[in-house]
């Protein structure tokens, strides 16, 4: 999370475009698998709305209608 930490913290606004280094990390990880490991404790420190934004910005969008931890990804199920 080091390269992306500053882009994932609360408050939910403003959302800031992540750095190239952050996107490089996002593109290397299995984001959907990572979502399966998000616990309520993690959700206290990571703004899930920002996490979804960062994933989408880095061209690794999460499937609308799915979940990342307990966070429901906005949008219809495709």
Is 37 part of a structural domain of the chain?
yes
Phi/psi region, residue 10 (left: phi>0; alpha: psi -120 to 50; beta: rest), is beta
Is 51 part of a structural domain of the chain?
yes
Buried b (16+ CB within 10 A) or exposed e, 24-34: ebbeeeebeeb
Q: Residue 78 above 70 pLDDT?
A: no
Q: What is the pLDDT of residue 32?
A: 86
Q: How many domains does the chain have?
A: 1
Is 77 part of a structural domain of the chain?
no
Q: What is the pLDDT of residue 77?
A: 62
Is 78 part of a structural domain of the chain?
no
Q: What is the pLDDT of residue 31?
A: 87
For range 10-29, the mean pLDDT: 96
Write down the mean pLDDT value for the chain.
Answer: 93
Which of 37, 68, 66, 36 is CA-nearest to residue 50? 68
């Amino acid at each position: 999370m080091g390269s992306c930490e500053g882009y994932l913290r609360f408050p939910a606004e403003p959302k800031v475009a992540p750095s190239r280094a952050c996107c490089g990390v996002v593109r290397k990880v299995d984001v959907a698998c990572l979502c399966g490991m998000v616990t309520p404790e993690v959700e206290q420190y990571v703004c899930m709305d920002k996490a979804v934004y960062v994933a989408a910005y880095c061209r690794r969008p999460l499937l609308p209608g799915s979940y990342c931890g307990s966070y429901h990804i906005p949008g219809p199920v495709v």
